[in-house]
Amino acid sequence: MPVTTDRKSKTGQLTSRPDFHSTPRIDQVGVEERASRFTKRSLKKDTKLNGLRLVLNMIDLTTLEGKDTEGKVKQLCYKAMHPHDALPGLPTVAAVCVYPTMVRVAKKALEGSGIKVASVATAFPSGQAPRDVKIRDTKYAVANGADEVDMVISRGKFHAGEYNFVFDEIAAIKEACGHARLKVILETGELGTFDKVRRASDIAMHAGADFIKTSTGKIQPAATMPVTLVMLEAIRDFYYETGKMIGMKPAGGISKSKLALHYLVMVNEVLGADWLTNEWFRFGASSLANDVLMQLAKEASGLYQAGNYFSAD
Q: What's residue 108's pLDDT?
A: 98
How distant, in Å, are the alpha carbons of 44, 109, 275 from that of 206? 39, 35, 19
When pLDDT is averaged across residues 2-22 and rounded to a whole number, the result is 60
Question: Distance between the two ends of the chain, CA-based, in angstroms?
Answer: 43
Query: What local confidence, expressed as pLDDT, does residue 304 receive?
Result: 66
Q: Over range 101-111, report the average pLDDT.
A: 98
- The predicted model scores a pTM of 0.92
Q: Which residues does residue 213 pair with via DSSP β-bridges, in sequence order?
A: 185, 249
pLDDT band for position 9 (cuts 50, 70, 90): low
Q: What pLDDT is stored for residue 111 in this prediction?
A: 97
Residue 5 pairs with which residues in a beta bridge? 17
Alpha helices in 184-256 (DSSP H): 194-207, 225-242
DSSP SS3 for 239: helix
Residue 48 — pLDDT band, cuts 50, 70, 90? very high
What's the pLDDT at 273?
97
- State the fold for domain 43-298: TIM Barrel (3.20.20)
163 close to 154: Cβ distance less than 8 angstroms = no
Report the chain's mean pLDDT, rounded to a whole number. 92
**Diameter over CA atoms, the chain:** 62
pLDDT of 125 over the 70 cut? yes
Over residues 157-166, the mean pLDDT reads 96
Distance CA 284, CA 261 (A): 14
**Which pLDDT score is estimated for 115?**
98
Contact 78, 99 (CB under 8 A): no
pLDDT confidence of residue 298: 86
Within 13 Å, how many C-alpha atoms sit on residue 52's CB side?
A: 23
pLDDT at residue 41 in the model: 86
Q: What pLDDT, on a 0 to 100 scale, did the predictor assign at position 87?
A: 82
Share of the chain above pLDDT 90, in %: 81
Higher pLDDT, residue 4 or 89: 89
pLDDT higher than threshold 50 for residue 80? yes
Cα–Cα–Cα angle for 202, 93, 60, rounded to 5 degrees: 40
- Domain ranges for the chain, please list them: 43-298
Q: Is the pLDDT assigned to residue 280 strictly greater than 50? A: yes
- pLDDT at position 7 is 55
Show which residues are catalytic.
Answer: 150, 213, 249
Q: What pLDDT sits at residue 23? A: 81
pLDDT, residue 222, reads: 93
**Taking the CB of residue 37, how many other CB atoms lie within 10 A of it?**
13
> Does residue 227 have a pLDDT over 90?
yes
The answer, yes or no, to whether residue 311 has pLDDT greater than 70, is no
